[in-house]
């Protein structure tokens, strides 16, 4: 074997190892799904609040929104999780249940109920810099009274949201793309009274466990998704 062939084989071996490590690194660094958040996780940023325009409407987990209760909306935290929210401007804090998705305004990471915002002393200001800390999740009870990791929705079927767009054409384009591989791809419009969004969703699953199988496939394709209750 001449020296050139030996050098080529050594280079190929080293490149294979490097590529394998690189591939493993990127495969482990995918977007966070709701279930990946752990108790004690903290996040800081701007929070806003929403009130009477949404009072009585259904939230993302199927509950009816009550503006006077202590609840919150977050884009990716697991629905049903409890968190402590601290107003970093005045030190006030409140315990809330995450039961909805949002906010859909750039620069904000949390939408609080009117009741929670009042406890934090931020109703008049409208927004405040806060810290959120996950406290834990209340076990979901099935119809038979047993705790289930693959929960079943009492409000209907689960679905996977793959995107939300201001322009309907973009939602239609994504829907057409997903229909090449998945069944029951649909668009749901959502009007916040400030902005109208077109949500692209996939499937109707009887349990969260069934939805997770398809969610994993979509995440592998670099979609940022979350599982919610179908409208």
CATH 3.30.70.1070 fits 158-229, yes or no: yes
Q: For residue 48, count CB atoms less than 10 angstroms from its CB and return exposed for 0-12, middle for 13-18, buried for 19 or more.
A: buried
**Tens digit of each residue's pLDDT (9 = 90 or more) over 115-146:** 999 999 999 999 999 999 988 654 333 222 32
Report the CATH number of the 34-137 domain: 2.40.40.10
Q: What is the pLDDT of residue 142?
A: 27
Answer yes or no: is pLDDT of 87 > 90. yes
CA distance 113 to 95: 12
Q: How many CB atoms lie within 10 A of CB 37?
A: 18
Question: What is the residue extent of each domain of the chain?
Answer: 34-137, 158-229
Q: What global pTM score does this model have?
A: 0.52
Higher confidence at residue 148 or residue 90? 90
* Contact predicate 121/127, CB 8 Å: no
**Among 163-167, 171-175, 195-199, whose mean pLDDT is lowest?**
195-199
Answer yes or no: is pLDDT of 2 > 80. no
34-137 and 158-229 have identical folds: no
């Amino acid at each position: 074997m001449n020296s050139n062939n030996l050098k080529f084989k050594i280079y190929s071996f080293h490149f294979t190892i490097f590529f394998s490590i690189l591939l493993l690194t990127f495969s482990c660094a995918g977007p966070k799904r709701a279930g990946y958040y752990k108790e004690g996780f903290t996040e800081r940023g701007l929070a806003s609040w929403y009130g009477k325009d949404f009072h009585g409407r259904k939230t993302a987990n199927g509950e009816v929104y009550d503006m006077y209760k202590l609840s919150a909306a977050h884009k990716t935290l697991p629905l049903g999780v409890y968190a402590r929210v601290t107003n970093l401007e005045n030190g006030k804090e409140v315990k809330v249940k995450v039961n909805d998705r949002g906010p859909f305004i750039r620069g904000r990471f949390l939408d609080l109920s009117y009741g929670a915002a009042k406890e934090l002393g931020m109703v008049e200001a409208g927004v405040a810099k806060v810290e959120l800390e996950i406290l834990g999740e209340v076990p979901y009870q099935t119809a038979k009274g047993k705790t289930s990791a693959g929960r079943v929705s009492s409000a209907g079927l689960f679905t996977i949201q793959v995107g939300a767009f201001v322009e309907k054409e973009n939602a239609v384009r994504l829907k057409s793309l997903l229909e090449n591989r998945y069944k029951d791809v649909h668009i749901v419009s959502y009007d916040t009274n400030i902005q109208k969004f077109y949500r692209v969703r996939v499937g109707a699953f009887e349990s969260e466990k069934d939805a997770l199988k398809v969610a994993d496939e979509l995440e592998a394709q670099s979609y940022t998704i979350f599982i919610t209750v179908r409208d």
